[in-house]
């Protein structure tokens, strides 16, 4: 018997792999297009195309083009602030209690926008919305790995500047082939010296060796995706022994064509190997998903019990970049919902 939607809806949730720019739903697109008449028809066509295609992409490159379309609508600090508020309202509807949101700081720099003005607007918006909604967020500044080490070091400069103002980690995303992990060992070491946590997308579009390199060369504390680690028992053993959690994103992996269907996600493989796995929505609006949907699909496809679904949420709480007492508060909320 599958879990009730009511249980999953009221379960307190934690999300760790969530891109702000990929969270722009059609209604947010329309809000951002106000005063930009030339964009209205483009947006409507783009939204219709996404829906017709079932939020599927032929290649990872096709997805990147869709991401770029979303990014181009974010022109001002006020745009980023609006996107933040709308995302947090969406998270609150799903009973998310804590989230670490990735800001594509590398993209902001690439667009030659003012990262300080944008982040300060985002931070202010998140504090206001969080107080109103009962939701806390922190931020990860993400660099574009195929832009190289110096670009990543520039993102680190900004991340360290705002470390005491809600930025908890430096991350790298983008093309794993053109931006191999061996480029970033020194930068990640500098990030840790600054007091920042470190995360890396790995094993999404490359094999398990990309995950191994992120662990051994970068000493990343969490792995974004890590999908292909399931192919290599030695890499899974490495993750287990070092206690490195995976930020699993099954819906995302299906949308990009990395796996045929949600039921093909290697959730059981990771669980049976003792790997800490969390579920996340990644770019939810671009993939037609949400954290609630990811948990519901996992429960249905893998016949998970209430305790097992709660366990995935507990994994995320323990893997969060939070002080231990705050993790314990989240864990108590999750456990209380199971016992209710």
* Ramachandran sector of residue 62 (left: φ over 0; alpha: ψ -120 to 50; beta: rest): alpha
Q: Cα(264)–Cα(267) distance, rounded to whole angstroms?
A: 8
**And the tokens for 228?**
């292909």
Rounded alpha-carbon distances, angstroms, from residue 120 to 88, 124, 162, 168, 268: 16, 6, 9, 15, 41
In the three-class reduction of DSSP (H, G, I as helix; E, B as strand; rest coil), residue 203 is classed as coil
Residue in 14, 17, 12 with CA at minimum distance from that of residue 247:
17
Q: How far apart are the first and last CA of the chain?
A: 19
User: Is 15 within 8 Å of 316 (Cβ atoms)?
Assistant: yes
Rg (alpha carbons) of the chain, rounded to whole number: 19
In the three-class reduction of DSSP (H, G, I as helix; E, B as strand; rest coil), residue 187 is classed as helix
In the three-class reduction of DSSP (H, G, I as helix; E, B as strand; rest coil), residue 289 is classed as coil
Question: Catalytic residues, which ones?
Answer: 204
Rounded alpha-carbon distances, angstroms, from residue 250 to 45, 111, 260, 327: 27, 30, 10, 25
User: Is 119 within 8 Å of 161 (Cβ atoms)?
Assistant: no
Rounded alpha-carbon distances, angstroms, from residue 46 to 30, 41, 43, 65, 235: 12, 8, 5, 11, 39
The helix (H) or strand (E) run that includes residue 258 is none
Q: Is 17 exposed, middle or buried (0-12, 13-18, 19+ CB in 10 A)?
A: buried
In the three-class reduction of DSSP (H, G, I as helix; E, B as strand; rest coil), residue 332 is classed as helix
């Amino acid at each position: 018997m599958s879990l009730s939607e009511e249980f999953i809806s009221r379960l307190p949730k934690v999300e760790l792999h969530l891109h702000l720019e990929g969270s722009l739903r059609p209604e947010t697109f329309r809000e951002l297009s106000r005063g930009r008449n030339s964009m209205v028809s483009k947006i409507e066509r783009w939204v219709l195309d996404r829906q017709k295609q079932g939020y599927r992409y032929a290649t990872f490159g096709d997805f990147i083009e869709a991401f770029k379309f979303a990014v181009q609508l974010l022109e001002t600090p006020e745009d980023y602030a609006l996107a933040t508020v709308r995302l947090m309202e969406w998270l609150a509807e799903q009973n998310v209690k804590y989230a670490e949101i990735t800001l594509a700081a590398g993209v902001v720099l690439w667009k030659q926008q003012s990262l300080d003005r944008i982040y300060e607007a985002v931070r202010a918006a998140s504090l206001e919305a969080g107080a109103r909604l009962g939701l806390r967020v922190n931020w990860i500044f993400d660099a574009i790995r195929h832009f190289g080490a110096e670009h990543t070091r520039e993102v680190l400069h900004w991340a360290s500047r705002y470390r005491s103002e809600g930025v908890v980690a430096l991350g790298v995303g983008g093309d794993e082939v053109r931006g191999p992990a061996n480029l970033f060992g020194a930068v990640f070491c500098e990030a840790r010296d600054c007091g920042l946590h470190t995360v890396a997308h790995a094993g999404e579009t490359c094999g398990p060796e990309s995950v191994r390199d992120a662990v051994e060369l970068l000493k990343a504390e969490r792995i974004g995706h890590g999908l292909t680690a399931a192919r290599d028992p030695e890499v899974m053993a490495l993750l287990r022994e070092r206690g490195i959690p995976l930020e699993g994103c099954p819906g995302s992996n299906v949308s990009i064509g990395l796996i045929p269907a949600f039921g093909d996600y290697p959730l059981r493989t990771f669980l049976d190997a003792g790997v800490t796995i969390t579920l996340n929505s990644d770019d939810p609006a671009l993939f037609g998903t949400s954290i609630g949907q990811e948990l519901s699909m996992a429960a249905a496809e893998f016949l998970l019990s209430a305790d097992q679904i709660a366990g995935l949420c507990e994994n995320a709480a323990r893997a969060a970049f939070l002080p231990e007492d705050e993790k314990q508060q989240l864990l108590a909320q999750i456990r209380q919902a199971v016992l209710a």
